[in-house]
Structure 1
Amino acid sequence: MRVFGILHASKRPRAIFAAAAWLGLLTGLSCRCAERISPTPAPPHAVVPGEMLPRDLSGGFSLAVPLERYGPSDLWKKINGGAELFISYGFRELLAGSFVRAHSRLPELEASIYEMGGDLNALGVYLAEKSEGADKAAVGWEGYQSGDGLFFYKGSYYVKIIDLSEDGSLGNVVREIAQYVDSAIRVRRRGVPEMEVFPREGMVAGSILYVHRDALGHGFLKRVFQGEYALEGKTATLFYCRQEGAAQLLAKYRDYGEEFGQVEREWQAGDLRLLSVRAFGNPELVFVRGDIFGGVVGCPDQSAALRLIRALLANIDRQIDGS
């Protein structure tokens, strides 16, 4: 079960977004219409180049200036209620720009480019916000359309483009912006082998996630990969992470079990150190092997959970470690 996600911009009323974007524009206007000139150079400390946004578009749209920039300390001003999610994934900077037509005072399109500090961070926040059953979009490394918005990630960037028009008829221009930004992000695609090692049998399609911190609600679990499985008529979560001192995570999980439930058993099974706890009435089997810590949460059959763990580790050995 996903514990992340915020309300998409595309799911909020257009009028609210148009008005908010309009108010932001008014601070940079000196006449009745939005200024449409070349964006000023980015400040020296800027992370996202201003040139990543197009200046002119079809339909008579132009980029309004000044552009908006936000960092971790003031992101809440732009996405109040959503900033915490982005910061938890390593957010560094947001560059946002609105697009207006000649002699118009209201922006009808808005593009937001989030620099997340790394490929996995961008993927993680993209997946956390992704709408269930959204239509795929052929842009970036992966993208989708939802409501009046188009969303994608590429490299360390997560991009949102929203149609603010009253009738939501600017889909072609939205795609034009997306293609421009996609082309401006010049990075070579790298796979995520850590997400390819999850066993396929019983996996819930589209459930594989990367969680940068506070995975499964635990403050001590960071940089975690997880996926959901149909096991014994239940939906269980298989997860793992790799770090030095993985054995310490087992100790912290033991403390968690003792505080919020009970520790049922701890034992050695070959190269695995296993711990079974029941917290909040939920069965959990966790393990440590070398620098790998992980487990299965929510599977009532401990044997099935252990088989899933061993299948995961076999894939890690073969596909990542080459052993």
Structure 2
Amino acid sequence: MSFAYLRKLVKEHIERSTVKPKRTISKIERAISLSILLFLLAIAVVVAHMGRQRSIAHYVLSETAFAGVTKGTALKLQLPPTMPNGWKRGKIETYNANNLYEKIDGRAELYISYDVVELVCTSYKREKDEGMFVDVFIYDMGSPHNAFGIYSYERAGVGKRIKLGEDGYEAGGSIYFWKGRYYVQVVAAFEDEAMKQLCLSLAKTIESQLKGGRSKIWGLESLPKEGLVSGSIVYIKRKAFGHDFLEDVYTAQYRYGGKNIKAFVSKCKSANDARAKLAKWKEVVGKYGQVMKSEQYKGQPLFAGKSGGGFVVVFCKNELLGGVIEAEDIKLAEGFAKMFFEKLR
């Protein structure tokens, strides 16, 4: 019912009321008829208002409409638009866990296993020489643990350590570092001293703007310092040593008694969870290798055995699961494991 039609009804009503009727219309009848018209007019106003609200709603985004929007805008600010000597930044690209394979196919699964949130990347090219380029990758890993994890996994003992971020290294003229929740790669087109200095300068610029400080990583603080091989600590988030039940594991290489020792520690959900994982591990060693010893060491379970061509010693200390794997000598492995047990808090 339109406003024009209602106005017409009201007008006709007024005209009829002013013309002398064949019979007298009482005041009550007039009041009732006018009330009906006003009621219809009110309904029309409400319907029209609802119609306007519905049409506006088609153009207003709900909060859930932004659920898939990435946080790349904040990271883009860390990438300077130009560099000295004619270097210019190209298009900035952003990727998340769902489409990361489009940029780093073959390596995306590794980053996803460390719960990558987002990748922001670009290339810097020299105007007069397209063959001269530097690729920049900034990974938001969601937490310092994950950032250190992917950094430590890819480092794998290569390169020369540098003081950048919370830890960094240079390899082949390229620069790699982590800081807070971010893992950064500044990759040179080729190895050259001038390119290395350019990459280092760009990496320092990015590092100075990234949020984060000295992150407290419990695994780094828990592993023994004596005999530690520099740069050998690695954080494995899932399926450590090929076991589905092992997660959140820190490993490191040591020199102990003239031999190589690989130690590990994992923080479990509870003391019972740690004991359950030790029992599962012992079961696997018994099935595919040999359990050589199973005992209580200072009130905590410990077992030693041979598995995969090396010796293992695994112990619990409350909610912590620790020990030695791939050892060359069972006695040295036991000695290191018990020393490690004493130092854990």
Q: How does the TM-score come out when normalised to structure 2?
A: 0.71
Superposed, 1:261-280 pairs within 5 Å as 261-280=289-308
Partner residue, 2:150: 125
3-state SS of the aligned residue for 1:151?
strand
Letter paired with 2:344:
I
Matched residue, 2:10: none
- What residue in structure 2 maps to residue 56 of structure 1? 82
Q: Write the deviation string for residues 93-141 of structure 1: whole angstroms up to 9, x where unpaired.
A: 1111112344665661211001111112111211221264522333212
Question: For residue 227 of structure 1, what is the amino acid of its counterpart?
Answer: A
Cα separation, 2, equivalents of 1:98 and 1:269: 56
2:325 corresponds in structure 1 to 297
> Which amino acid is 2:276 matched to?
Q
Match of 1:313 in 2: 341
Query: Which structure 2 segments of 5+ residues have no match?
Result: 1-67
- The letter of the residue matching 1:72 is A
Higher RCO (Cα < 8 Å, 6 or more apart): 1
| SS across alignment from 1:237 | strand
Equivalent positions of 1:112-261 (< 5 A) are: 112-130=137-155, 132=157, 134-164=159-189, 169-231=194-256, 234-244=259-269, 245-261=273-289
> For 1:70-85, what aligned pairs fall within 5 Å after superposition?
70-85=95-110
Counterpart residue type for residue 199 of structure 1 = P
Residues 249-283 of structure 1 show CA distances to partners (whole Å, capped at 9, x for unaligned) of 01210221133123333221222201223223422
The answer on 1:45 being equivalent to 2:70 is: yes
Asked if structure 1 preserves the Cα contact closer than 8 Å seen for 2:179 and 2:213, the reply is no
Q: Which amino acid aligns with 2:76?
A: G
Q: Is the 8 A contact 1:199 1:311 kept in 2?
A: no
SS in structure 2 at match of 1:161: strand
Compute the displacement of 1:305 (Å): 2.8
The Cα of 1:154 is off from its aligned counterpart by 0.5
Distance 2:319 2:160 in 1: 38
Let me know the Cα RMSD of the aligned residues: 2.5
Query: What is the match of residue 123 of structure 2?
Result: 98
Query: Counterpart of 1:144 in 2: which secondary structure?
Result: strand
Higher mean C-alpha displacement, 87-96 vs 170-179? 170-179
Say if 1:204 and 1:55 are closer, same or farther in 2 by CA, change over 3 A. Answer: same
Mark the CA change 1:247 to 1:68 in structure 2 (over 3 Å): closer, same or farther.
Answer: same
| Stretch deviating more after TM superposition (154-163 or 180-189) | 180-189
Name structure 1 gaps, 5 residues minimum: 1-42, 318-323
Instruction: Please state how far the C-alpha of 1:77 moved relative to its aligned partner.
Output: 2.1
SS of residue matched to 1:73: coil
Alpha-carbon distance in 1 for matches of 2:334, 2:192: 53
Structure label with greater radius of gyration: 2
Give the fraction of aligned pairs with identical amino acids, expressed as a percent.
Answer: 29
Change (3 A) 1:203 1:295: same
Cα deviation, 1:182-236, whole Å, max 9, x if unaligned, reads 1221223224343233334443333222221222222211111111223455422
Q: Is the 8 A contact 1:109 1:165 kept in 2?
A: no
SS in 1 for 2:77: helix
1:303 to partner: Cα distance = 4.4
Question: Quick one: structure 1 residues 233 and 102, their matched pair in 2 at CA, closer, same or farther if it must change by over 3 Å?
Answer: closer
> 1:38 corresponds to which residue?
none
